[in-house]
Each structure stands twice: as structure tokens, then as C-alpha cells.
Structure 1
Amino acid sequence: MQMILAYWCVLIAAFMPVGFVAYAKFFCGKKMDLESNRYPRRWLEETDGEQKRAYWAQLNAFEAFPPFAAGVIIAVISGGSITAINLLAVLFILLRLAYGWCYISDKASARSLVWFAATACTVLLFIVAAIG
């Protein structure tokens, strides 16, 4: 049986938002302290620049996760090509990391292109499922 690398990609995608928000809280701008952690969402809303964009990248990563995870699971269950599923899942992860970098770096046009490509990977997972 061929290893389903795509399942590991689902795990990575599930925790990707944590990486973006950790960057926002601890690695750029004003660092979050113990008092700020009492109200982390309010604190993040009051940030700006790179820090705010890292927070927004986190929110977008949460939005992208459910259809991607569903696409992987449905494609595997329907008997889709494991090679195609693995390829699309790895490509999705790489594109979503690039998306986060574009978002944080304020590269809006590139961000939109990368978002479209990552979304296409999710759609293609459902197509792989349909042709099983």
C-alpha cells in the first residue's frame, strides 16, 4: 500500500494558523506579554503592519483548512490516485506557506495569485475524487 503523504499535509495545514499567529505574537512588532494574553484577539486587532498581516494570514489559513481536509479525505475514500492526491496536498502546503509569506510581506498581487493556485489544488482534489 502506498503511503498517504496527504494525511500528513492535513495535519500540517491544521497547525499552520498557529505558526502565523506565533509569528505575529512573538517575532515581529510589539511582542505579546502575559497581560496581553488575557485578551489575545483584542490585542491582535490593535496591531498593525506586518504583525496585523500575520494575524490575517492566520485567519485565512483557518478558512482554507476545511475544504482542503475534506478534499483529501474524500479523494482517498473515493479511491482517487494516491500519487495525484499526495502531489496536490504537498503543493497546497507549499503554496499556503508562500501565501502566508506574501501576506506578511505585503505582496498583494502575488498573494492573490498564490491563493488562486492553492485553491485550485483543493478543487482538483475533489475532481480526483469524482473520477476516482
Structure 2
Amino acid sequence: MTIAQLCLLLACGLPVVCAALAKSRGFGKRRRDGGFDNHAPREWLARQEGWQARANAAQANSWEALPVFLAGLFVAHQHQAAQATVDALAAGFIVARAAYIGLYLADQASLRSLLWMTGAGLSVALFFVR
């Protein structure tokens, strides 16, 4: 398994981690006591505030970022790009996305946006690497 392939696997897991964080305060509580409502999960999540609401938004954004990263890796592979370069770009994407999620949870909007642009740029760069 290449580093890029491992990064793809990690990128697929990031939305799941964000979802778990968003729901974490509701685990272990009864539904009637404000616990997570698996019968209406989207409605329950829509009522969350603070870092939990931001974790849910980070989950959605992580799903949105995934297809471009995946496509970039696919194109780089099709072009038989230098694996070391592909690995570096993929690792940079994971670092940028992980930091993005951390900054999202911490409500650091400007830095978060900078890291979003960095991650997006790394995904696009995969389309052009040879």
C-alpha cells in the first residue's frame, strides 16, 4: 500500500470521526433526556450548538472534499505520476484536512478557510502532477 492509498483511506475516515464527535455528547443518554436520537439523527444534529454543530458541519465538508481528492489521486495514477510526489501531495492533504477539522471545532474561521484552500489546492495539484 502506498502512502497515497493510506491517505485515501484516512480521508474516507475523517467524516466518520467528525460525525462521532458531533454526536458524542448524546451518547449514553436517553432520547427523552436529550441523548442522540437515532430515529431522527439529522433533526437531532440540527439542534446542536457550539463545537458539536461545527463538528457536524466539518463532517459535511469532509464528504464534499473527498471526491476531488479521490479524482485527483485517480488522475495522478492514470498519468503514472511520480509516486513520491503523489504521496507528498496526499499526505499534505490529510494534514491540511485534519488541521482544518481542528480549527473548525475551535471556531477559528479565518485559519480554517486558509487550510480549506490549502487542501483544495493539493487535491487540484494531483490532476497536474506527472
- Provide the residue aligned with 1:15 in structure 2: 13
User: Are residues 1:53 and 2:54 paired?
Assistant: yes
Residue 34 of structure 1: how far off its partner (Å)? 6.1
- Provide the residue aligned with 2:41 in structure 1: 40
Task: Give, as a single letter, the amino acid of the residue that structure 2 aligns with 1:21.
Answer: A
Residue 4 of structure 1: how far off its partner (Å)? 2.1
Cα-to-partner distance string for 1:92-123 (whole Å, 9 max, x where unaligned): 00110000011111000000100011111001
Q: Partners in 1 of 2:55 and 2:30 — Cα distance?
A: 20
Q: Partners in 2 of 1:54 and 1:12 — Cα distance?
A: 17
Cα-to-partner distance string for 1:51-104 (whole Å, 9 max, x where unaligned): 100000000000000010110121012111100100000110011000001111
- Provide the residue aligned with 1:99 in structure 2: 100
- Provide the residue aligned with 2:128 in structure 1: 127
Q: Partners in 1 of 2:30 and 2:73 — Cα distance?
A: 38
Q: Partners in 2 of 1:34 and 1:66 — Cα distance?
A: 36
Q: How does 1:71-82 map to 2 (within 5 A)?
A: 71-82=72-83
Task: Give, as a single letter, the amino acid of the residue that structure 2 aligns with 1:31.
Answer: G
Task: Give, as a single letter, the amino acid of the residue that structure 2 aligns with 1:18.
Answer: V
How does the TM-score come out when normalised to structure 1? Answer: 0.89
**SS of 2:26's equivalent?**
coil
Q: Partners in 1 of 2:123 and 2:22 — Cα distance?
A: 27
Q: Partners in 1 of 2:30 and 2:83 — Cα distance?
A: 45
**SS of 2:128's equivalent?**
helix
User: Are residues 1:63 and 2:56 paired?
Assistant: no
Of all paired residues, the percent bearing the same amino acid is 39
